[in-house]
Amino acid sequence: AQTVTQSQPEMSVQEAETVTLSCTYDTSESDYYLFWYKQPPSRQMILVIRQEAYKQQNATENRFSVNFQKAAKSFSLKISDSQLGDAAMYFCAYSSYNTDKLIFGTGTRLQVFP
């Protein structure tokens, strides 16, 4: 069975600085998708970024980028120029190519200080 591990329960960053959130996963599959979701205090789940495992190029979305290391089964999220509005819980998620089920990590709470 696939698992997703986020080893950092909490992280903090100063406004305008860069922070990296870690995520590792375990799977025997070769084709899959990885996601980062953001959950602000309003509790809405918002898709931040998505990576297809067959693509070597790391996905980027404005200030958000990932470092996808397939061999190491690592999928970290880098937030550049952090803003106060980035404060939230961040969830890493895995989806098999053959199913549409999302398997979530336990989340990392990010605090942003002015």
Residues that bind other proteins (CB under 8 A): 33, 35, 37, 42-47, 50, 52, 91, 95, 97, 99-107
Task: Tell me how far, at minimum, the Cβ of 91 lies from other proteins, in Å.
Answer: 7
Cβ proximity to other proteins: between 19 and 105 the closer is 105
Considering only the C-alpha atoms of the chain, give the largest distance between any 2 of them, rounded to a whole number of Å.
Answer: 43
The burial of 2, by beta-carbon neighbours within 10 Å (0-12 exposed, 13-18 middle, 19 or more buried), is given as middle
50 touches 67 (CB < 8 A)? no
Task: Tell me how far, at minimum, the Cβ of 95 lies from other proteins, in Å.
Answer: 5
Task: Tell me how far, at minimum, the Cβ of 81 lies from other proteins, in Å.
Answer: 24
Cβ proximity to other proteins: between 68 and 105 the closer is 105
Cβ proximity to other proteins: between 13 and 48 the closer is 48
Tell me the torsion sign for CA atoms 106, 76, 8, 112: negative
